[in-house]
Amino acid sequence: MAAVATSAYGSCIPANFLHSPPKIANQISSPPPLYISTNPSHVNPSHLQHLYAICNHSCHRFPNLDSYGRVELIDVGKLRTALSNSSVVLSVFTKPELANDLSSTAEVGTRSMGIGGNWIQRVMPVTPDNGKLVGFGRAVSDLGLTASIYDVMVIPSLQGRGIGRRIVQRIIRMLTGKGVYDISALCSDKEGLFFKACGFGEDILGSTTMMYTGTSSCPDAHQIAIYAGRKLILSPPSRQQ
């Protein structure tokens, strides 16, 4: 660290430089420069497929897993169809060099001071054209009464910085702006903690989402109900009629 400082400032190191770790820690926890888009055309289905793979996220409630516990790739054609039929599509982009694993404190400090590298590229604003897709979320709605949020995800190296919450908040604003207030999220117990932090809670009707399994509905059959996850409902303080 001192060697980096000497190369940047010469033989005289600023007095507060050696006390910079707390500031660097704040930079690690805060999000990098982002571009948040609500334009579905900004999402490249192939890039979205790659994001699903990085996040190990599947659109299927019962995904096929390989021997390493990784979900199968989502078909690009079906992703394209899902995008075109979603009521809200939200994508998040950042600079490709900032989407990598930033676990190295020294590396973050070097980048924040602009030491080396292409500084012109670093000061350029993020756009869907020059940025990398690092976050995504969508909602399906009848645009009159109800809506459901799906596929909220952020690449692992940028998780824990509030990006996922910003995705959900923006989707909610867009839906409530259209007068839709009955908003739900299909999620696992683990994902439920995240959605509860975003203002969702248990359905007052106590409903649990049931998924079609293809088993017989004959009264004589002993059908097994498969519970795919909890359905959390957004409960705003007030509701417009």
- Express each pLDDT in 175-213 by its tens digit: 999 999 999 998 877 888 999 999 998 877 777 777 777
pLDDT at 6 > cutoff 70: no
pLDDT at 113 > cutoff 90: no
More confident residue, 85 or 188: 85
What is the tens place of the pLDDT at every residue in 60-74?
Answer: 777 777 777 788 888
More confident residue, 211 or 132: 132
What pairing do the DSSP bridges indicate for beta strands 182-187 and 146-154?
parallel
Query: Which residues, in sequence order, are CB contacts of 49 under 8 Å at separation 6+?
Result: 73, 74, 76, 79
Averaged pLDDT, 99-107: 47
Distances (CA, A) of 202 to 59, 148, 229: 22, 14, 12
pLDDT at 225 > cutoff 60: no
- What pLDDT band is residue 148 in, cutting at 50, 70 and 90? very high
CB atoms within 10 A of CB 8: 15
pLDDT at 146 > cutoff 60: yes
pLDDT value, residue 98 = 82
Averaged pLDDT, 138-147: 96
Domain boundaries, the chain: 34-100+122-203
- What pLDDT band is residue 119 in, cutting at 50, 70 and 90? low
Fold of 34-100+122-203: Aminopeptidase (3.40.630)
Averaged pLDDT, 20-45: 75
- What pLDDT band is residue 120 in, cutting at 50, 70 and 90? low
Mean of the per-residue pLDDT values of the chain: 77
pLDDT value, residue 167 = 97
pLDDT value, residue 215 = 65
Lookup: tokens for 47: 């890039």
More confident residue, 133 or 5: 133
Q: Which residue do the tokens 């976050």 mark?
A: 135
pLDDT value, residue 36 = 97
- What pLDDT band is residue 99 in, cutting at 50, 70 and 90? confident
Q: Which residue do the tokens 């293809």 mark?
A: 214
pLDDT at 8 > cutoff 90: no
Averaged pLDDT, 222-237: 58
